[in-house]
Amino acid sequence: MAARPIAVRFAPSPTGRLHMGNARPAVLNWLFARRHGGTLLLRHDDTDAERSRDEYIDAIEADLRWLGLAWDRRERQSGRLARYAEVLETLKASGHAYSAYETAEELSLKRKAQLNAGRPPLYDRAALRLTPAERAALEAKGRTPHWRLRLDHTDVAWADVIHGDMTIQSSTLSDPVLVREDGTPLYVFTSVVDDIDFAISHVIRGDEHLMNTVPQIQLFRVLGAPPPTFAHFALLVGKEGEKLSKRLGALSLADLHADGIEAMAIASYLARLGSSDPIEPRSDLQEVAAKFDLTHFGRAPAHFDPDDLRAHNAKVVHQLPYAAARDRIETLAVPNPEAFWLAVRGNLSRVADAAEWARVVTAPALSAPVEDATLVAKAAALLPLEPWNDATWSAWTGAVAGATGTRGRALFHPLRVALTGRDTGPEMKALLPLIGRERVLARLSRGT
């Protein structure tokens, strides 16, 4: 049998912005698709009319574009309700879907009673024992049924890419609700219909969905379709193992973007977090995709530390090509912005920090201490004429050393402080031509 074409999907619910937790499946699915020459479906799971918002759809898509994650097809489940209704009728006719009339309150009372009796809170299939007359009586009272999938109580087995061989007895689960009494189709149902219709080959999602796999595999088979390959990755937790659900609200991609975290830092961080591969700075997503391997991910929760992300961001900035920073650097009005970027990026934690070095380069004068007035005066007298290049610093300081006998830190540190007002920073051979002779002479003249 020929291999199925690789097709994956990212299926956000548009009830809020993307954050580190739900951006992770987007990154992993995109990388898997690109690694294997496949396609990515962006599917908005927006059947919850009360919570889904068009503005969140727009925001999610903006976040994905910022991350560099292009999709090959876009769908909204709200536009497929007729298709779900059609499939539900098929399941009704085959006896795999059945109506149930309990209210949410009645189901809650049943679960509490089961728990109090020390039994697992499973649906008791009471609806299957209703007579036609009892069903008619309930509907006469205004009860509208919800629809459940009648599970076949057998072992369900699959080979999970991350968890390995899995076998779960379906009798340990409740028959899942497919469609609510108000007609809203639910995740277990709609995902399977979509995965069949859009020929999804691999479902890559968090391991909170492991139990959903059992009814979904049965549903695939009932509908005459082969189940996709499943890969369930571990969820993110804090660095001490705490849940991130509340903290993630402050870690939306929009907030991280505003804080100066690079899209490539987030994508390359999430690409390896929870795997056996080291987290490495990268400047190109295709390079990340070329080495992406789902089998390297473990089953243990992935520990997320915002400080680690910030440190990783600094490494990404240190190798960020000028093209990725151009729009932001050109606003600083520095001479030769590309040379400026290449000179200062290794000393930045965020691209925005370049503004301070732009001030160092362009300010007419700096308030800086003069450590060795005699040395600085001699250096001013020996300052060569322009044009300057990256060899000027070496030639100039060599001349100053020859004239004064000063070497090492005693030579270089006073000049750096006089010219930049700082003890450390980018290489002076790169900064000197950017500062320019007029400003250099003005700063040196303070000590004469």
Q: Is the pLDDT of residue 101 over 80?
A: yes
The verdict on 49 and 81 lying in the same domain is: no
The verdict on 312 and 333 lying in the same domain is: no
The verdict on 326 and 313 lying in the same domain is: no
Q: What's residue 49's pLDDT?
A: 87
Token duo for residue 260: 């100066």
Q: What's residue 250's pLDDT?
A: 54
Average pLDDT over residues 268-295: 95
Higher pLDDT, 242 or 391: 391
Q: What's residue 208's pLDDT?
A: 95
301 belongs to a structural domain:
yes
The verdict on 140 and 186 lying in the same domain is: yes
The verdict on 201 and 148 lying in the same domain is: yes
Share of the chain above pLDDT 90, in %: 92
Give the separation between CA 177 and CA 172, rounded to whole angstroms.
Answer: 15
Q: What's residue 275's pLDDT?
A: 96
Q: Is the pLDDT of residue 364 over 90?
A: no
The verdict on 81 and 152 lying in the same domain is: yes
- The CATH number of the domain holding residue 201 is 3.40.50.620
Q: What are the tens digits of pLDDT across the range 239-275?
A: 888 877 544 455 899 999 999 999 999 999 999 999 9
Share of the chain above pLDDT 70, in %: 98
Give the separation between CA 312 and CA 435, rounded to whole angstroms.
Answer: 30
Q: What's residue 349's pLDDT?
A: 98
Domain boundary among 216, 233, 250: 233
Q: Are 280 and 311 in contact (CB under 8 A)?
A: no
> Could you list the residue range(s) of the whole structural domain that residue 164 is in?
72-233
Q: What's residue 369's pLDDT?
A: 80
The verdict on 174 and 194 lying in the same domain is: yes
Mean pLDDT, the chain, integer: 94
CA distances from 131 to 61, 121, 136 (A): 49, 24, 9
Q: Residue 337, by phi and psi: left (phi above 0), alpha (psi -120 to 50) or beta?
A: alpha
For the chain, what is the domain count?
Answer: 4
Domain boundary among 215, 233, 251: 233
Domain boundary among 332, 362, 392: 362
The verdict on 95 and 219 lying in the same domain is: yes
